[in-house]
């Protein structure tokens, strides 16, 4: 029988692996009720806690789960306890030392965090964050709200983004709980049970079960975002924004990033390009389509509506198991494998859709990239057979998670007085799915 892992317990309780680990090891700001529930579930599932010999400091540092996520910096002297104006002081880590964070750039003084990217909404540098080793941990609880349709444990972009967010939050002393919202709850404007405890009229007032702040991850209809924004706790958006609500947000710069990956394909000599993704009903995908459209326009290439295909159910958001291609999309002659009524390349709104598109193309006799070229978006693909060869746009999920937690920290500390939207540019990961066309 396979041994029970922390992730197995987390999946059963609908929480993060970090929260489960903290509960089992007696760490973190976790309510007594949740800790008891985690311990009881672990015992029922037969979890065996591993014991390891005492490690040296270098050994412990090497296996620090935050190491691949963030880089350490040298803490500022204890006397440098006053943060710069508008900056959010980061909190001390589990051992009292400053938590790992983005490495300083340029000539920033020791103890200062200077993210490499800029706030593209204002084209101004992001304010540095001052870190000192003497600051206490927050010991607060946050919720990460996500639509149930977008998450599948271990096999989705948003589950991975949640894990990165929970890990980052834990480094600041924030315990996190994932709150999945069903389509029915969204339609009926019903809050998840844990959030109903924030209602002043609620009969349940157990503070241990309440949350101090929310990170709202991924798209939600305006009416539901408005419902969440009216709760008496700070909230911020991750990988989405709503222009009609005064909420701070961080997301991928869908328009610019899609423009860049499309330009990459055009520079490879392709002049007939198709797009995979629903441009109606999904704002992030729509922005990617407009970036694709802009790249074609500036290169004076045709946008053929017959080469734009939906990749998911417009109601549920679930990606189709097979891309609905026209029956006449079949190989031509030996001299012209791709007929003139077909594109020679597809720009896909996400990596999963690119991998799914490859199957019907190959079933019809096309080869990728010899006949048809493909590019994706996100740099997150659960299909290992395609992950190693798909050219894609990396959105830097780790940095998105860090900024989302930083935004919420500033809100919790009253450091943020106005909402802003931060869009992050990604970079192209060139692999082997795009053919260079002959002159």
DSSP classification of residue 297: H
Q: What is the CA radius of gyration of the chain?
A: 24
Taking the mean position of all CA atoms in its chain, how far away is CA 337?
A: 38
pLDDT in tens, 27-67: 655 677 788 888 889 988 888 876 544 444 444 433 333 33
Supply 436's token pair.
Answer: 């260079």
Instruction: Report strand pairing: 118-119 vs 124-125.
Output: antiparallel
On the question of pLDDT at 118 being above 50, the answer is no
pTM surpassing 0.85? no
The pLDDT, as a whole number, for residue 266 is: 98
The pLDDT > 70 percentage for the chain reads 73
The number of beta carbons lying within 10 Å of the beta carbon of residue 231 is 17
Distance between CA atoms of 377 and 114, rounded to whole angstroms? 26
| Chain segment 379-436, per-residue pLDDT in tens | 998 766 788 899 999 999 999 999 999 999 999 998 876 789 999 999 999 999 999 9
Spatial distance between the Cα atoms of 292 and 225, rounded to a whole number of angstroms: 28
Q: Please state, as a whole number, how many other Cβ atoms lie within 10 Å of the Cβ of residue 364.
A: 14
What whole-number distance in Å separates Cα of residue 383 and Cα of residue 156? 11
Q: Residue 117: is its pLDDT beyond 70?
A: no
What structural domains and CATH numbers belong to the chain?
A: 254-395 (3.40.50.2300)
Is 276 a residue whose pLDDT tops 80? yes
Q: How far apart are CA 48 and CA 142, in angstroms?
A: 28
Region of poorest pLDDT, from 93-107, 212-226, 256-270, 274-288: 93-107
- Concatenating the DSSP letter of every residue in 257-281 gives HHHHHHHHHHHTT---EEEES--SS
pLDDT digits (tens, 9 = 90+) for 58-92: 444 333 333 333 332 222 333 333 333 333 333 33
Rounded to an integer, the average pLDDT of 352-374 is: 95
Q: How confident is the model at residue 230 (pLDDT cuts 50, 70, 90)?
A: very high
Query: Number of helices and strands (H, E) in the chain?
Result: 13, 16
Q: Are 295 and 263 in contact (CB under 8 A)?
A: yes
Nearest Cα neighbor of 306 from 340, 260, 282, 259 is 340
How far lies 290's CA from each of 281, 287, 293, 393, 400, in Å?
14, 5, 5, 16, 22
| DSSP-derived secondary structure letter, 335 | S
Would you call 24 exposed, middle or buried from its count of C-beta atoms within 10 A (0-12, 13-18, 19+)? middle
198 pLDDT band (50/70/90 cuts)?
low
């Amino acid at each position: 029988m396979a041994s029970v892992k922390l992730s197995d317990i987390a999946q059963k309780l609908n929480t993060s692996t970090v929260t489960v680990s903290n509960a089992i090891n007696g760490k973190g700001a976790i309510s007594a009720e949740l800790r008891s529930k985690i311990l009881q579930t672990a015992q029922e599932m037969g979890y065996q806690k591993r014991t390891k010999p005492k490690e040296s400091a270098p050994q412990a540092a090497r296996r620090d789960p935050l190491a691949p996520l963030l880089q350490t910096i040298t803490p500022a002297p204890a006397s440098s306890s006053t943060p710069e104006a508008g900056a959010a002081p980061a909190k001390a880590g589990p051992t009292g030392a400053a938590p790992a964070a983005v490495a300083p750039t340029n000539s920033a003084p020791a103890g200062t965090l200077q993210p490499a990217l800029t706030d593209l909404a204002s084209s101004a540098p992001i304010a540095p964050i001052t870190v000192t080793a003497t600051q206490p941990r927050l010991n607060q609880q946050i919720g990460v709200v996500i639509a149930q349709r977008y998450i599948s444990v271990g096999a989705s972009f948003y589950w991975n983004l949640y894990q990165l967010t929970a890990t980052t939050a834990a480094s600041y002393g924030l315990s996190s709980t994932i709150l999945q919202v069903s389509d029915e709850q969204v339609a009926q404007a019903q809050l998840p049970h844990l959030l109903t405890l924030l209602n002043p009229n609620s009969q349940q007032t157990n503070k241990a079960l309440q949350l101090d702040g929310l990170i709202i991850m991924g798209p939600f209809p305006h009416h539901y975002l408005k419902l969440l924004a009216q709760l008496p706790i700070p909230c911020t958006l991750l990988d989405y924004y709503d222009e009609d609500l005064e909420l701070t947000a961080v997301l991928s710069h869908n328009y610019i990033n899609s423009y860049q990956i499309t330009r990459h394909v055009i520079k490879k000599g392709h002049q007939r390009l198709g797009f995979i993704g629903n441009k109606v009903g999904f704002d992030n995908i729509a922005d990617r389509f407009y970036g694709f459209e802009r790249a074609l326009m500036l290169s004076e290439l045709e946008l053929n509506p017959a080469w734009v295909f939906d990749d998911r159910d417009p109601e549920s958001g679930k990606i189709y198991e097979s891309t609905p291609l026209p029956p006449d999309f079949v190989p031509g002659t030996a001299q012209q494998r791709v007929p003139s009524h077909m594109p020679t390349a597809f720009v896909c709104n996400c990596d999963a859709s690119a991998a799914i598109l490859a199957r019907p193309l190959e079933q019809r006799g096309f080869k990728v990239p010899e006949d048809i070229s493909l590019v994706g978006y996100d740099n997150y693909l659960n299909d290992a057979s395609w992950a190693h060869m798909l050219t894609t746009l990396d959105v830097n999920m780790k940095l998105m998670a860090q900024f989302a937690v930083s935004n919420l920290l500033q809100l919790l500390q009253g450091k943020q007085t106005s909402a802003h939207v931060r869009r992050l540019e990604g970079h192209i990961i060139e692999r082997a799915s795009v053919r260079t066309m002959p002159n």
